[in-house]
A and B are shown apart, each in its own frame.
Chain A
Amino acid sequence: MSAPPAAADGLAIDVQGLNKHFGDKHVVQDLSMRARRGEILGFLGPNGSGKTTSIRMMCGLLTPDSGSGTCLGYDIRTQSDQIKRRVGYMTQRFSFWEDLSIRENLDFVARMYEMPSRREAVDRAIENLNLTARATQLAGSLSGGWKQRLALAACMLHQPELLLLDEPTAGVDPKARREFWEELHELAARRISILVSTHYMDEAERCHKLAYISYGRLMAQGTAEEIIAAQELATWSVSGGDIRDIAARLQGQPGVEQIAAFGSALHVTGRDGAALEAALRQVTEGTDACIEPADTGLEDVFIHLMDKSADNFRTRQ
């Protein structure tokens, strides 16, 4: 065992300038990220933006091409053994053994971490899962939601200090998702740090902090409010009148960057507030529609960021 990490109660994740190429694809570019202990950090970004690669570099499953950093105070390049013992990593795809039963999977994990009171820990985990009656069922025969709960239980078994969860709730029904998030908040309250990647906006809003990554680049980081404020977007709500017609006519107007329908209203977003307002007034003039300023939502910001990074990406090509 090496010396205890210096930042014992400071940062759970602290990485600077991480880069990773696969062939000639630059998957992660200059990624710098920090997460404090006991914090739930939401990791967002479109598909293929480098979230999984970043997470794998943080827990030592991939070696970064350049850059450095620590995870729980241990160097991600040289001390991955220490990191592995203290981190629970839940893979995007169910990666436990489908031909082993629930109990056998948990028992295997407990043995891998050399847990002193293995049997008790496994029993407790099965009890918490409410699966005592089905403990001998093969993991492969479980439904998606149950697999996800089993995976979480398995990567929690050795009481890690940091959880890395890669899209843990993909394909899970809303009730199970809510229960899952309640569990995450309970864990955070016990000073367990959590990095969770997700596509769901409601989940993003439940995180303490957010990081948004696109095309391998970190586009924004902070609390939801900070991220929204930093983009300085103006949003207007349009309601009443022929919304579809208005939406069509707004398309391509100066200042109008995003148009999204929310029920019977339109949310129109742009960086230039004055131009946006002018465009809206012009288009809605003489119609029944009424316009009013609205709050910019996280989703508006993320779509804006995604477009922005796509533009960056194209100009670099």
Chain B
Amino acid sequence: MRAFSVDRWWGIVLKEFLQLRRDRITFGMIVGIPIVQLTLFGYAINTEPKHLPTAVVVSDHSEFTRSFLAAMKTSTYFDFVEEYRTEEDARNALERGDVKFVVNIPSDFTQRLLRGERPAVLIEADATDPAGAGAALATVNQLAAAVVKKDLGGALAPLAGGPAPFEVRVHRMYNPEGLTQFNIVPGLMGVILAMTMVMMTGLAMTRERERGTMENLLAMPPTPLEVMTGKIIPYVFIGLIQSTIILLAARYLFHVPFVGSIILLYFVALLFISANLTVGITLSSLAQNQLQAMQLTFFYFLPSILLSGFMFPFEGMPAWARGLGSMIPTTYFMRSVRGILLKGNDLFDLWPHIWPVLLFTAVVMAIALRFYRKTLD
């Protein structure tokens, strides 16, 4: 393997830029796709996911609280995955996206209940995806009433009548008004980038092959790594331009809150763009012609839309679909964007959604280099 030559690599980068500048249709696509998609996906499909990961902070263990939690569990909307000792730990888990709900039962709950003081159970919900949280929350209040009827017999029977003896207070976190755009628009960033980046680089190599210029390129000294990375670079800029268009629309058209760091957002976008570009260039070296490259692109693009948590809440999907979704960088990017914009996640919070993208990029690049044909055989 020869050494990587920056001069040659830069030559390829410049060539790609020049060709891109003269390709009006591609250029139109770069601006057109985000705008069309943003317009089309104004509304999202609502579903009713169950078994949502839920954490509890129980400071009062009584028959009564146990019974309430058991009822929540049998509703099948909630899966208790973790018990935290402090509210802060639970809040962090919610912020990282480990859990969707935190059920908080205060220490004097049973005591106050028995005194008829109408204590409150606090449920904090991750409402970044309002469709995912809505149905579950709707059942909680009914649960409260039902549990009381069942458990408050004998001497406590008088409490069962009249207004509910305790209240369930719900905090919708991160997206208090439950606006679907807040969820959809950041998610669209992942979908649009996945689509355009993979498609455009998918054509990059096959175009050279179809026009007969590949023979010339192969007869010259550049190495596969130089050619591949050199061809990718201009599209990185395009990806960043698209990200900016989407973010501007998110901010000024859809009024999505920007809680977290924009710089961090561009950083994760850059990683995601690289991941998609390596996919594109790999498909491109596998495909024989531009049509095949386009078809292969769809194999990647469809799961990116359907299984990444963009179209349907991730938790609502069956296990096999979640497994497939977990192999696609779009899934992780989607979580990162929502985490940054709506929750103000920092790099530490996002790390679980960043390393899979890095790993994915490295693996795919290795495949691409493996399949890059240095000869015309």
B374 cross-chain contacts in A, Cβ below 8 A: 80
Contacts of B11 in A (CB 8 A): 107-108, 111-112
User: Given the known A-B contacts A81-B221, A112-B8, A112-B220, are A61 and B15 also in contact in the complex, defined by CB atoms under 8 Å?
Assistant: no
Chain A residues closer than 8 Å to B215, beta-carbon distance: 61, 91, 95
Contact of A96 among B5, B19, B213, B218 (CB under 8 A): B213
Q: Is A84 interfacial (CB 8 A cutoff)?
A: yes
Q: Are B8 and A62 in contact (CB under 8 A)?
A: no
A53 closest partner in B (C-beta) = B376
> Which residues in B have their C-beta under 8 angstroms from that of A96?
213, 216
Q: How far is the CA of A112 from the CA of B15 in the complex (A)?
A: 11
Min Cβ gap B202→A in Å is 18
Q: Which residues of chain B are near A95, meaning CB under 8 Å?
A: 211-213, 215-216
- For chain B, which range describes its interface: under 10, 10 to 19, 20 to 34, or 35 or more residues? 20 to 34
B336 to chain A, nearest CB (A): 37
* Chain A contacts for B178, CB-based, 8 A: none
Contacts of B1-42 to chain A: CB distance below 8 A: 2, 5, 7-8, 10-11, 14-15, 18-19, 22-23
Give the distance in Å from the alpha carbon of A87 to the alpha carbon of B220 in the complex: 9
Count A-side interface residues using an 8 Å CB cutoff.
30
Q: Are B14's CB and A108's CB within 8 A?
A: yes
Taken together as a complex, chains A and B put the C-alpha atoms of A104 and B22 apart, in Å, by 13
0/1 string, A89-104, CB within 8 A of B gives 1: 1010111111110001
Q: Is B5 within 8 A of A114, CB to CB?
A: yes
Complex: A225 Cα to B7 Cα, angstroms: 48
Q: Is A188 an interface residue, CB under 8 A from the partner?
A: no
Is A113 engaged at the interface, CB distance under 8 Å to the other chain?
Answer: yes
Bound CA–CA A81/B374 (angstroms): 10
A112's closest neighbor in chain B, by CB?
Answer: B220
- The main secondary structure of chain B at its interface with chain A is helix
Give residues of chain A (58-100) contacting chain B, Cβ–Cβ below 8 Å.
59-63, 80-81, 84-85, 87, 89, 91, 93-100
Which residues of B206-225 are within 8 A (CB) of A? 211-213, 215-216, 218-222
Chain A contacts with B in 211-270, Cβ cutoff 8 A = none
A266 → B minimal CB distance (Å): 42
Q: A60-B375, A61-B376, A63-B375 are in contact. Are A98 and B211 (CB under 8 A)?
A: yes
Q: Which residues of B contact A85 (CB under 8 A)?
A: 221
Whether B7 lies near A99 (C-beta < 8 A) is no
Measured in the bound complex, the distance between the Cα atoms of B11 and A109 in whole Å is 8
Contacts A99-B23, A111-B11, A114-B7: A91 and B376 contacting too (C-beta < 8 A)? no
Q: Judge if A206 is at the interface, Cβ distance under 8 Å.
A: no
Most buried by B among A84, A97, A107, A111: A111
B377 at the interface (CB under 8 A from A): yes
Residues A104 and B18 in contact in the complex (CB < 8 Å), given A56-B376, A62-B375: yes
Complex Cα distance A217/B220, Å? 28
B18 — which chain A residues lie within 8 A by C-beta? 99-100, 104
Point out the residues of chain A lying under 8 angstroms from B7, CB to CB: 111, 114
CB-CB under 8 A from A84, the residues of chain B are 219-221
Name the residue of chain A whose CB is nearest to the CB of B223: A81
Give the complex CA separation of A129 and B54 in angstroms. Answer: 75
B174 to chain A, nearest CB (A): 47
Considering the chains assembled together, what is the distance between the CA atoms of A138 and B375 in angstroms?
28
Q: Is the CB of B218 within 8 A of A61?
A: yes
Q: What 0/1 readout, one digit per residue, does chain A (280-301) give for beta carbons within 8 Å of chain B?
A: 0000000000000000000000
Judge whether A112 and B221 touch: CB under 8 Å.
yes
Q: Please, which residues of chain A bring their CB within 8 A of the CB of B5? A: 114
Interface residues of B (CB under 8 A from A): 2, 5, 7-8, 10-11, 14-15, 18-19, 22-23, 211-213, 215-216, 218-222, 374-377
Additional A-B contact list (18), CB under 8 Å, known A104-B15, A114-B7: A61-B215, A84-B221, A91-B216, A91-B219, A93-B212, A95-B215, A95-B216, A96-B213, A97-B15, A99-B18, A100-B18, A107-B11, A108-B11, A111-B11, A111-B14, A112-B221, A112-B222, A114-B8
Q: List 18 A-B contacts (CB under 8 A).
A: A61-B215, A62-B375, A84-B220, A89-B219, A91-B212, A95-B212, A96-B216, A97-B19, A97-B213, A99-B19, A99-B23, A100-B18, A108-B15, A111-B10, A112-B11, A112-B222, A114-B7, A114-B221
